[in-house]
Structure 1
C-alpha cells in the first residue's frame, strides 16, 4: 500500500510539474461531422520524447446523443477503456523527427500546389530525416482511434511528402501529393479530378533578408491523360517582425493554382472542387505579408487571383494577446477570414468564411472560456465554449 501511495504521489507530481494539461469541452467538426467533445489532454516532454495520453468522450448530440469514448470516428465505442487515447507521440533528434498527433497547416515549396493545407481535428504520422545537406519528409494520414479492439483508421485521403537538397546558398525542393479518393463526384462543371500533383522549387538568396523562389508544378488525373502545369515566381523578405511576399504565376491546360488549401476538404465534401479543364492559358499573382509581434500577437493577410479581371481570393488570420496587468487576467482574441469573392458583394457574403474568438483565461491557455462569432448563411452566429486554446 505504501509503495502504491508513493507511486501515485510521484505520478501526480509529474503530471502537474512536467506537463501542460489542456481541458476542452465543446463542439468540434471532423471530416464534416460535428461532435460534442469532452477531453483532458496532458502532454509530457522528456528530452527528445513527447507523449500525450488523454481522456476523451464525445456525443453526436449534446442533449440526446449517446456518450462514446475515444477519438470521434465512424466506429464509435462505449467501452470506457477507449476513453484513454494517444493524443501525441513525438521523438526529435538532430537528424530525425517522428510525430503522431493533430495535424497542422502544411505548405509545400512556394505553395503553388499545397498552401496551408489542413484537415482539422484529425491526427496523422509525420516523419522527417535531416542530414547535412538534404532532408526527407512524409505525411501518412492514419490515426489510432481505439485500443480495445486496437484500431487504426485512415484520417484523411491526401498523402504527401518532399525531398530537400541544399548546395551552398541554393536550395532545391521536390515534392509529391496524391488524393486516391479524387473522383468525378467531387468536382464541378464536368472537370477532371486531380489525383496526382507534384513540383520542383528552387530558392536563391538575393540579399541577406530577401529570397527569390521559383516553383514548377504539375497536376494530373489518374491515367495521366490530362496534365496541367504552371510556374510560380516569388520574392520573400524576412525583416524580423515583418515578412512580405509577392509573386506572379502562369498556368496551362487547366492547372488549378493553390488547389490543396484550408478549404480543400470542405469543397470536396460539397462536391465543389475545381478540376482540370480545357481552358486557355492564364496568369495570376499573390501578394501579402505576415507580422510577428509575439508575445502580443501575430497575423497574416494575402490576396491572390488571376490577371484576367476575375475577383481574387482574400484570406488572413490574426491573434491578439492582451497581457495580464494587475487584476486584469488578460485576453486572447483570434480571427480568421477567407473569401473567394471579396470585391464582388462586399467582404461578407455567401462565399465568406469568418470567425472571431474571444477567450478569457481561467488557467492560462490550457483552460479558457469565451465566445465565438462566425459568419454562417449570410448572418452572424454566436456560440459559447470552454476548454483549451489551440490556434493554427
Structure 2
C-alpha cells in the first residue's frame, strides 16, 4: 500500500493505536501482548485495507483484529490458554466500563504506566510511546535526548514492568495523587507532540486527545489545582494554534499573529479556569504557565502586553520549576522589560547548546543589538538543530536576512 492509503493508515495509527493498546491491556492484563497484537493488526491492515479500502470504523477494526491477534498469540503456550479462560469468564460478566477510580481505558493506562517503581522519565516516555502513538525519535525529541538514549530507556522500562511484575490495573483513589505529576507531564507532552509548528493536520488528533483526557482528569480530581492549570494551559495554547503558521506553511511569530483569529471560546474557558486557580492560591508550574498565556491573550498586540506581569509570573515559575528551558523563556521576557543586552547576559549562562530555541532566541537578541553577523551564525545554528520544517525554513530565512550583505 502506498500513497494516500498508506498515509491514511499512518493517521489511524497515530489516532487509534493508544486506544487499542489501552483496551487490550484492560482485557488481557499484559502490556507486551497488547502492544504486539496492535502492531500485528496494523500489519494486517496494510494488506487488507489495500485490497478492500478503509473500513467505516478503522479504529474499531484495529481493536477487534488486535484482540484476535492477541488470542492467537495466547493459544501458543500453556499460560496463555489459562489466561484465555480467565478472559472468557470476564466477558460473561456484566459490562464493567467505568468501574474503578478512572473511567477511561487510556487514562487508566496512563495512571498505571506511571507506577512509582519506574523512574519518572521512564514513566512519561513509556506512556508517550504506548498511548501517544509517538515514534521513539519523537519521544526522544520531547526529552531533548538522542534517539539511542531514549530507545534504551524504553527497553529498560518494559523490562522493569515484566521482571518486577508491575500490575496493569486501575489504581485506587488513594493512589492517584501520588502518580499525578507524571500523568500531567504525559498529557502535556502528548499535546506538544501534536503542536509542532507546521505539523500535519492529522496531529490535531493528538492535541484533541490530550485536551479530552485533561477534561476527564479535571472531573476526576476537581480539587487538584495543577490539573485545572494544565487544562487551562492546553485550551489557551490551542486557541492560538491555527495562527502559528501561514497558509503556505511558514512560521508566524506571536508578534505577527492575527489575534482576531484566536479562538475566543477556548480563551474564555481558559481564563475562567485560570481565575479559579488564582482563587486557590496554590501556584504550580502548569497554573503559572496558564496564567502567562492568559496575560498574552489579554493584549491586542505585543506592544500592549503586560510584560512586567509576565516577568513576575516567570519569576514564580522559575522558583518552582528551575529548568534551563524555563530560564530561557524568562530571558525572552527580560529582553522585553529590560532590553536585549540584559536578556543576552542571562542566556549566555545557560547550558542549552543542543536546543534550537536557545540559538534562535540568542540570534534575535543579537540582531536587536545590531550584531547582525553573529545573529546570522546563531540563526543558522538554530536552523540546523530545528526538527520542524516550518521552523527550519523560518530560521534559514532569518539567517540569510542577517547575512554578509547586511553586516
Shorter-normalised TM-score: what interval? Answer: under 0.3
Q: Please identify which structure carries the higher helix content.
A: 2
TM-score (normalised: structure 1): 0.26
